[in-house]
Every structure is written in structure tokens, then in C-alpha cells.
Amino acid sequence: MNKWVILTILLCLLLPYKAFADAAVGEMIVTLGENLSKEQKNMILSEMKAPNDVEVLTVTNAEEHEYLGDYIASRLIGTKAISSSAITLEEKGTGLKLESKNINWVTDEMYINALATAGVKDATVYVTAPIPVSGTAALTGVIKAYELSSDKKIPEDVKQAANEEMVKTAKLGDEIGTEEASALVTKIKEKMAENPPANTEEVRDVVESSAKDLGISLNDAQVQSLIDLFNKLKELNIDWNAVGDQLTAAKDKLSNFLESEEGQSFLDKLKEVFSSLIDAIKSLFN
């Protein structure tokens, strides 16, 4: 009889764990905003093509303020949690893939970059809302779902840093263009993976050389903002090689940007600058 009691206790302990930990590849977990109506929840689940037995987590407005309150005004976060997400674990080495709907400020590449910083790996992510929203709150839900599906606890300071990165990139996008901002952050991470900076000056060199490589002009405030961000990330001992491995989609977007008409115009302007500089030097000798 004692054996049966012990077995029962073990099963009670293990069953809840199995519901979340070591989720199988292809298994989906959904997060829904707490303030969605029942009709909206059903509509979003249908939109996500979520199975009937999908695991659903709730994200509250308090959680959104907890992770975003230091980086954007409370009025922009709002008083209702409506952003929702679905995350599906993929095979090792797949990288991060993301698609969004009704998100009008944070781009897919910004999400991917921030998720990679947080340590999210090998997953397909879908972010949505019933109405157009900025999308800043969605990162909270995606990270929450990933922790439960992979049974990996992400440190709070890393979560905060990922949210800060997402917001700063979006703000930079308002100033220099969303494609340019996303490409720049991806480029900086590539360089940090190749040769991790040891101090603030080396972080500055990475930021400035990345901007130069892409033909992007930054003012002093923008440079300093990026230095502050990546200096903070450097102190968190993030595995930049692992981050780089997850950025396949973002790197593809970077390559597409460089090959696009917009990207080529940046490179052409850069060539014109060097050409003008050479002509000026020649004229001095003449």
C-alpha cells in the first residue's frame, strides 16, 4: 500500500511538470491578453489555427507595465492587455521566425532581435491583436510562453534588457527608418558575435562601424543610446554566438535591404561622399 501512495504522489508531482516542460517540437502555446472579450479570444485562437487542447496563458496589463514602464510612457502602454501571441518550438538549429498582424510600431525583425537577446531559440512566433496596436506589450507574452514550453527560466534583467532593446530600436526607427534601425541592430549583433567588445570604447567602435557599413548617419544622441544599450547587454554575459545563430530571418532581411533600391541608395550616397572627398583632396593639390 505504501508503494501505491508513493506512486500516486510521484504522478501528482510529475503530471503538471509534463504539461509545460520539454514541450514536443511542433507543440503550440498561446498567450492571450487578459482584457480580450470571449469573442475576441475565440477569433484570435481561430486566426492562429490553435488546436482545441492548446495550452493558453494569460498576460495582464500589470505584467506589461512591469517590463515596459521604464522605457515608454504609461499612457502608451495603456490600461488593457490585448496583445496575443503563439509560439511553436521547432527543431534545433531552425532559428527564430516571426509573423505579425495588426502591429503598427514594432517590426518583425525588432521582435526577432529582442527575442534572440532574451535567449529564445528555435521557434516560430505569431503576434497579433484584434485592433491595430504598437506591439510593445507582445514581447512579454512570447517570453512567458517560451519559458513554460522550454522549461528555461530567463533572468529578469535579461527580460528587461530585451524589452529596452525593442523599444529603443522602434524609437530609432521613427528617426532613421524602421528598415534601417532593424538592419543596424542586426549588424551590431553580428559584429559583437564575431569579436565581443571588452569595454565601452570598443562598443562605440562596433556601433559606429556598423552604421558606416550600412551608410546610416547617426547623431550623437543616437550613437550614445545604442552604446548604452549594448554596454548593458555586454554586462549580462549574453552568448552573442547563440544570438547570431537565431537571427537567420533578420540577417536575410538585412541582405534584402542592402540589395533593395533603398539600400542601394544609401550605398550610392556613401560612394558620393567618398568621391567628393577625393575630389576635394585633388583640388587642394591642383
Q: What does pTM read for this prediction? A: 0.79
Please tell me the predicted confidence (pLDDT) of residue 105.
94
Strand 123-128 to 84-89 pairing: antiparallel
- Residue 97 β-bridge partners: 124
Q: Residue 59 pairs with which residues in a beta bridge?
A: 33
The residues with which 87 forms a beta bridge, in sequence order, are: 29, 125
Q: Pick the closest to residue 85 from 119, 105, 108 (CA basis).
A: 108
**pLDDT value of residue 8:** 47
* pLDDT of the residue at 45: 97
> Domain limits of the chain?
27-159, 176-272
Q: What is the mean pLDDT of each run of 10 residues along the chain (286 residues)?
A: 49 43 79 97 97 96 95 90 96 94 95 95 97 94 94 94 96 96 95 93 97 96 97 89 79 63 56 54 53
Which pLDDT does position 17 carry in this prediction? 39
Residue 283: per-residue pLDDT: 58
Sign of the C-alpha dihedral, residues 74, 138, 155, 187?
negative
Give the start-end residues of each E strand in the chain: 28-33, 55-59, 84-89, 96-100, 123-128
pLDDT value of position 281:
53
Helix (H, G, I), strand (E, B) or coil at 120: coil
CB 95 within 8 Å of CB 247: yes
